[in-house]
Structure formats: structure tokens, C-alpha cells
């Protein structure tokens, strides 16, 4: 098979170019026309499709003109669902991708779909084509597609991918919902306190100075804090932002990341939410891979990469090494004392009955329910606590401001 570099025109008259694989020039012309383009020039080349696209991407990256296309999670879910529905209706992968690319979408999704379609037309498998975009299609995604291709049951694999990512997105939404409320309340409370310190307290301080009143200690402390925030607030904000950036960098990798992730697991309620979500994700991902024909060792390697918490991820890696030595999965996981006893016992039952994928499905359902309960508990407990906390801070400021007034009022009565 030879490779041909071509220049053509789209139906809108736009210039297009690329490299395709064909037995002869006539076959190359037919492939170009099948993509809905009009060939202008065709020349034989020694470059393959991937080499040609890779060189262009490197050139554009070095000059800073274009970033590599990437789908967002919602876009990936929509693309996967549409592709799954089209393939399930009886379309071939090539025709399904051609249908999706016919929308002429100029976004990152459109560019990715068009590239995938071109790769499929040139004889590349879907799994190999997906590997051109590792930032969009994870190792889990690619391996599920590859397993479907190997078993000849790609429509079912695509459906499993859709269900898996929809449930992952749903679980992520639950965790974000549990965290968003405290963040909103604390942000509003912080803005209210800053507004009082910068706008209200200085006016009271000027009034008290004019009156020559002797201020109580709580009021003096409040005035000192307000004076500091007013004069050095921007510096304090800059130092805080710098510390936040350094902290984010420290917890991003290495020892700092391990210390932070281990500390998060010890936080009441929040740590339980993180671990429960991780266990649900572990069982869901591993069960999906096993159900699609991926063997245990490669599946554990993929699952390890998808777990965000390094403490749990490292424990999966250690268990994988022990499984390599011939052990069962439940035994190695139990040795690390990270995974709960209930999960281990349910895995052991699945191994004994020969239905590990089925047991993982039950485990996923169990921890999804537990995650719902924890999120509900978190919002129920934190809501009154945060409101009371903000009220105490703002109320304390109000009391400190009113104390001199009350003192003066008492002295007038005397």
C-alpha cells in the first residue's frame, strides 16, 4: 500500500489537505470523494498519515499557533452516546463517524471526529485512531474499544463506555454538589467580613476618635484588625495568592501530593466521601473492563491510573504486583488495610463463584448508595454549622462596634 499526499476542496470551497493510504492513485481519488471533498492534486509520499499529522502538530505547537484538540467531559459523553446509537442501529464505524463529521462543526469535537473518520477510511482501527488524542480518550476508553473490536461486539462495548462515563459524571456531580455549598457560604461570609472591615469599621473608628471615648478591648482589637486590612490588604492578598499557588504546586506531585491525599482521607465526612467515591469508581471501572473481556492484570493497571487519590492508587498497584505472583485479588487488597472489609468480602465471594464482574457490579451499587447518603449527611450537617459560624463572626463584629455606644449610654444615665 502506498501513501498519497493530497490537496482538495470541501463542498464550501475550503482548502483541505492530508495523507491517505491506497493501492493506487485511482483508489486515493475514490477515498477523497467518499469524504465529500474534491481532489485538486495528488502526489505519492513516503510519509504515513500519523507522521504527517504529527509533524504538523509539532510545528504548530512550537510556534504557539494552535493547541491540540481536546473534548470536555460533557462533549465526550455526547460524542460517545451518539456514536454508540449510530453503531447500534447497524451503521459501520466509518459511516457513523462520517455522519457525525458531516455537521461541519469547527470546534475541537468536529476536528477530532473528522480525524477519526479519515483514519477509519484509511484502514486504521478505531482503538488505534483514538490513541491520537490521549488527552480526550483515556487508556480505559481505548482498551474498552479494543476489547470490543477483538470480541466482534463493538456496539456493546460502546454502550458500556457510555454507561460507565455517565455514572462517573454523576458521581463527580454528587461530590461537587457536596463541596459547592460550603464554598459558597464561606465565600459570601468572607466578602461580608471584608466589607465590614474596610467600609464600616473605619467610619465607627473616626466617630469614636471625635468623641474621645475610652474603647473596650474587643473594640480596640477590631479597630487594629480593620486598620491592618485597610492598609495592608492588597499585600496580604498577594501573599495569600502566592502561598496558594505554592501549595497547589506542592500537592501536585511527589511527597507533598502523598501527604495531602493521606491527610484528606482523615478529614471527617469529607474523607469518607473521597474514599467512598474512590471505591465506587474502582469497582465500576474494574467491573466494566472485566465484563468487556480485559484480563485482571491489565484491568488493574488501567484502574490504578484512573484513581485520583495516590494512597488508594498505590495500594491498587501493590495488589497488582501480588496478583502477578498468583494470588487472588481479594487477598492482596486486604493486606494493605486501605480497602474496607465489606468490599474485600464481596470480592472474595465473586472469586469463589467465578463471577467477579457480577460482584463488582453489586459493590458499585453499594458504594453509590453510600455516596448518596454521605453527600446528604454532609449538606445536612454543614449547612447549619456554616450559617452559625458566619453569624458568630459577623455578630461578634457588630457587638464590638456597639460596646462603646452601650458604655456611653450607661455613663449618661449615671
The predicted structure's pLDDT at residue 239: 92
Which of 71-80, 198-207, 274-283, 318-327 is predicted least confidently?
Answer: 318-327
Supply the mean pLDDT for the chain: 81
pLDDT tens digits along 2-56:
677 777 777 666 777 777 777 777 777 777 777 777 777 787 765 444 444 444 4
Tell me how far the alpha carbon of residue 130 is from its chain's centroid. Answer: 19
pLDDT band at 292 (very low <50, low <70, confident <90, very high): confident
The three-state (H, E, C) secondary structure of 25-36, written as one string: HHHHHHHHHHCC
| Residue located via cell numbers 474523607 | 271
Residue 362 pLDDT > 50, yes or no? yes
Which of 106-110, 154-158, 310-314 is predicted least confidently?
Answer: 106-110
Q: How far is the C-alpha of 158 from the C-alpha of 84, rounded, in Å? A: 5
| Residue located via cell numbers 455522519 | 99
The predicted structure's pLDDT at residue 57: 42
Average pLDDT value for residue range 277-294 = 87
Task: Tell me which range, 48-62, 152-166, 322-336, is most confidently predicted by mean pLDDT.
Answer: 152-166
CATH architecture, range 270-372 = Up-down Bundle (1.20)
Average pLDDT value for residue range 163-173 = 82
Which of 59-63, 96-100, 131-135 is predicted least confidently?
Answer: 59-63
The predicted structure's pLDDT at residue 65: 40
Q: How far is the C-alpha of 221 from the C-alpha of 302, rounded, in Å? A: 56
pLDDT band at 171 (very low <50, low <70, confident <90, very high): confident
Q: Which residues contact 399 (CB under 8 A, 6 or more apart)?
A: 218
Residue 111 pLDDT > 70, yes or no? yes
* 355 touches 328 (CB < 8 A): no
> Which segments of 196-269 does DSSP mark as H helices, in order?
201-211, 217-250, 254-264
Identify each DSSP E strand in 23-115 by its residue range.
38-45
Q: How far is the C-alpha of 181 from the C-alpha of 186, rounded, in Å? A: 9
Task: Show the cell assigned to 18.
Answer: 492530508
Which of 65-69, 116-120, 156-160, 325-329 is predicted least confidently?
Answer: 65-69
Percent of the chain with pLDDT over 90: 6
Which of 49-58, 111-120, 321-330, 381-390 is predicted least confidently?
Answer: 49-58
257-292: burial string, b at 16+ Cβ within 10 Å, e else: eeebbeebbeeeebebbbbbbbbbbbbbbbbbbbbb
Residue 59 pLDDT > 50, yes or no? no
Query: Can you spell out the DSSP letters for 227-245?
Result: HHHHHHHHHHHHHHHHHHH
**CB neighbourhood size of 410 (10 A):** 9
pLDDT tens digits along 115-156:
888 888 878 888 888 888 888 888 888 888 888 888 778 888
The predicted structure's pLDDT at residue 409: 64
Which of 122-131, 165-174, 309-318 is predicted least confidently?
Answer: 165-174
The predicted structure's pLDDT at residue 13: 67
pLDDT band at 320 (very low <50, low <70, confident <90, very high): confident
Q: Which residue has the higher pLDDT, 265 or 17?
A: 265
Q: Which residues contact 197 (CB under 8 A, 6 or more apart)?
A: 225, 226, 229, 230, 397
Matching fold, domains 73-166 and 270-372: yes
Q: Please return the burial class of 210, using the count of CB atoms within 10 Å of its CB with bins 0-12, 13-18 and 19+.
A: exposed
Which of 34-38, 173-177, 209-213, 225-229 is predicted least confidently?
Answer: 209-213
Which contacts qualify for 398-406: CB closer than 8 Å, 24 or more apart?
399/218, 400/216, 400/218, 400/219, 400/221, 400/222, 401/200, 401/201, 401/204, 401/219, 401/222, 403/215, 403/216, 403/218, 403/219, 404/208, 404/213, 404/215, 404/216, 404/219
The predicted structure's pLDDT at residue 19: 78
Q: Which residues contact 205 (CB under 8 A, 6 or more apart)?
A: 223, 226, 227
Q: What is the DSSP letter of 107?
A: S
* 184 touches 383 (CB < 8 A): no
Phi/psi of residue 7, each to 5°? -125, 135
**What's the CATH class of domain 73-166?**
mainly alpha
The predicted structure's pLDDT at residue 213: 65
Average pLDDT value for residue range 76-104 = 86
Q: How far is the C-alpha of 256 from the C-alpha of 144, rounded, in Å? A: 33
Residue 67 pLDDT > 60, yes or no? no
Q: How far is the C-alpha of 315 from the C-alpha of 329, rounded, in Å? A: 12
Phi/psi of residue 134, each to 5°? -65, -25
Between the alpha carbon of residue 39 and those of residues 14, 18, 42, 51, 209, the distances in Å are 12, 11, 7, 21, 85
Residue 288 pLDDT > 70, yes or no? yes
Residue 377 pLDDT > 90, yes or no? no
Annotated domain spans of the chain: 2-63, 73-166, 270-372
Q: How far is the C-alpha of 131 from the C-alpha of 392, rounded, in Å? A: 55
Which contacts qualify for 316-321: CB closer than 8 Å, 24 or more apart?
316/282
Q: In what order do the strands lie in the sheet with 38-45?
A: 15-22, 2-9, 38-45
Amino acid at each position: 500500500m502506498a501513501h498519497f499526499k493530497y490537496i482538495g476542496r470541501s463542498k464550501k470551497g475550503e482548502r483541505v489537505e492530508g495523507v491517505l493510504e491506497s493501492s493506487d492513485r485511482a483508489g486515493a481519488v475514490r477515498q477523497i470523494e467518499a469524504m465529500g471533498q474534491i481532489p485538486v492534486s495528488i502526489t505519492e509520499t513516503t510519509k504515513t498519515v500519523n507522521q504527517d499529522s504529527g509533524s504538523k502538530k509539532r510545528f504548530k505547537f512550537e510556534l504557539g499557533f494552535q493547541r491540540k484538540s481536546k473534548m470536555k467531559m460533557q462533549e465526550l459523553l455526547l460524542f460517545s452516546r451518539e456514536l454508540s446509537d449510530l453503531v447500534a442501529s447497524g451503521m459501520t464505524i466509518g459511516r457513523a463517524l462520517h455522519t457525525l463529521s458531516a455537521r461541519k462543526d469547527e470546534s475541537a469535537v468536529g476536528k477530532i471526529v473528522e480525524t477519526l473518520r479519515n483514519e477509519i477510511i484509511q484502514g486504521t482501527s478505531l482503538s488505534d485512531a483514538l490513541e491520537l488524542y490521549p488527552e480526550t480518550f483515556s487508556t480505559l476508553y481505548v482498551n474498552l474499544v479494543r476489547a470490543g473490536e477483538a470480541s466482534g461486539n463493538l456496539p456493546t462495548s460502546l454502550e458500556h463506555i457510555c454507561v460507565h462515563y455517565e455514572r462517573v459524571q454523576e458521581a463527580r456531580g454528587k461530590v461537587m454538589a457536596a463541596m459547592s455549598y460550603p464554598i459558597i457560604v464561606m465565600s459570601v461570609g468572607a466578602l461580608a467580613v471584608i466589607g465590614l472591615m474596610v467600609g464600616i469599621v473605619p467610619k465607627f473608628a473616626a466617630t469614636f476618635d471625635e468623641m474621645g471615648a475610652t474603647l473596650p478591648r474587643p473594640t480596640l482589637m477590631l479597630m487594629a484588625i480593620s486598620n491592618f486590612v485597610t492598609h495592608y490588604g492588597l499585600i496580604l492578598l498577594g501573599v495569600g495568592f502566592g502561598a496558594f499557588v505554592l501549595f497547589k504546586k506542592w500537592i501536585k506531585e511527589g511527597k507533598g501530593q502523598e501527604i495531602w491525599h493521606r491527610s484528606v482521607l482523615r478529614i471527617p465526612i469529607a474523607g469518607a466521601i473521597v474514599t467512598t467515591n474512590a471505591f465506587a469508581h474502582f469497582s465500576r471501572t474494574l467491573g466494566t473492563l472485566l465484563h468487556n473481556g480485559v484480563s485482571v492484570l491489565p484491568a488493574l493497571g488501567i484502574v490504578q491510573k484512573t484513581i485520583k487519590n495516590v494512597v488508594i492508587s498505590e495500594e491498587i498497584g501493590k495488589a497488582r504486583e501480588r496478583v502477578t505472583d498468583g494470588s487472588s485479588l481479594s487477598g492482596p487488597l486486604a493486606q494493605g488495610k486501605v480497602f474496607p472489609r465489606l468490599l474485600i468480602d464481596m470480592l472474595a465471594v465473586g472469586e469463589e463463584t467465578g463471577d467477579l464482574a457480577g460482584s463488582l457490579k453489586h459493590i458499585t451499587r453499594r458504594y453509590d448508595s453510600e455516596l448518596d447518603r454521605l453527600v446528604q449527611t454532609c449538606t445536612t450537617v454543614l449547612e447549619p454549622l456554616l450559617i452559625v459560624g458566619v453569624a458568630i463572626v459577623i455578630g461578634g463584629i457588630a457587638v464590638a462596634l456597639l460596646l462603646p455606644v452601650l458604655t456611653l449610654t450607661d455613663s449618661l444615665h449615671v
